Amino acid sequence: MKKAEEMYAYARNHKLGFNLTPIIGGWLQKKHFKLIEDALGKDEEALVTFIGRHHPEDRENFQQYEGESAADFRDRVQSSQTNKVRYFSCKGFTAYAVTNSGRLIFARWVPFHNDYKSLPLNNINTINPNTRIIWGSLRIESFREVFSIFWTKRVVFAIAKLLEDSKSDLQDGLMDGITTANRQKVTNPSAPLTTETNYDKLKERKKALEDGLISQEEYDEYKDKFLNH
């Protein structure tokens, strides 16, 4: 995916969050994804996208109030980082994308100020879901960033799995948009594929389609490729 419209459609079609802002929620979310579109490299594409409310927790996102002591400031930052993340404590709706270059990009558009950051997947050392009955949050820690993504319990677990699988696929050199850690690997990709191998790999793609990890168009393209090999 290279375009904001595609990224927005992917997140909505795969039920990976949505913007609740009345009337203009969809329009705003596409503006967020447009920032990601503009940030992509020449050969870089978004593999998966999702939507959530962003809760920054690293120290640089906090400012000391006038007259606030250093100790009080430190306690306030610590309290914000350890308390449960809630809907209204978040910064706002944000667009997220995992790319084939191994990056997690997140962006939020507001008039006269665009908030965009990029995080290498290899730098993420903690992916920790914290859920309640309906809502939940996903805490992500890296060398540079600490933040949480807030949304429904189901979406939080889905995003956690996408990120874990993406990190695994990056390590295996398989950033092709099918984010499942259990895929079979072709040990010699240059060797001719047998009918049995084609069938097995087609079954993998079918399962990915049923799980909502790839689109029908992507599956049909893969099917045509291997049936005509």
Give me the amino acid identity at 188: N
Average per-residue pLDDT for the chain: 80
The model's pLDDT over 3-37, given as tens digits with 9 standing for 90+, comes to 999 999 999 999 999 888 888 889 999 999 999 99
Query: Which pLDDT does position 202 carry in this prediction?
Result: 73
**Claim to verify: residue 140 and residue 203 sit in the same structural domain:** no
d(CA 170, CA 125): 14
The answer to whether residue 148 sits within a structural domain is: yes
Query: Which pLDDT does position 184 carry in this prediction?
Result: 47
The model's pLDDT over 115-125, given as tens digits with 9 standing for 90+, comes to 889 999 989 98
**Claim to verify: residue 199 and residue 162 sit in the same structural domain:** no
The model's pLDDT over 36-55, given as tens digits with 9 standing for 90+, comes to 999 999 899 999 999 999 98
Query: Which pLDDT does position 51 carry in this prediction?
Result: 95
- Nearest one of 161, 147, 64, 142 to 108, comparing CA atoms: 147
**Claim to verify: residue 149 and residue 116 sit in the same structural domain:** yes
Query: Which pLDDT does position 221 carry in this prediction?
Result: 78
The answer to whether residue 34 sits within a structural domain is: yes
Coil, strand or helix: which one is 81? helix
Higher-pLDDT residue of 115 and 172 is 115
The answer to whether residue 213 sits within a structural domain is: yes
Q: Domain of residue 223: give its range.
A: 195-227
User: Mean pLDDT lowest for which of 60-64, 102-106, 191-195?
Assistant: 191-195
| β-pairing verdict for 113-120 and 124-131 | unpaired
**Claim to verify: residue 164 and residue 199 sit in the same structural domain:** no
**Claim to verify: residue 127 and residue 36 sit in the same structural domain:** yes
**Claim to verify: residue 130 and residue 212 sit in the same structural domain:** no
**Claim to verify: residue 13 and residue 80 sit in the same structural domain:** yes
The answer to whether residue 182 sits within a structural domain is: no
**Claim to verify: residue 92 and residue 203 sit in the same structural domain:** no
Structure pTM? 0.68
Assign residue 217 a region: left if phi > 0, alpha if psi is -120 to 50, beta otherwise? alpha
Chain-centroid distance of CA 78 in Å reads 26
User: How would you label 127-159 residue by residue, b for 16+ Cβ within 10 Å and e otherwise?
Assistant: bebeeeeebbbbbbbbeebbbbbbbebebbebb
| β-pairing verdict for 135-142 and 113-120 | unpaired
- The number of distinct structural domains making up the chain is 2
- Nearest one of 228, 142, 157, 158 to 193, comparing CA atoms: 228
**Claim to verify: residue 119 and residue 47 sit in the same structural domain:** yes
179 confidence band (pLDDT: 50, 70, 90): very low
If you search the block for the tokens 């447009």, which residue do you land on?
Answer: 34
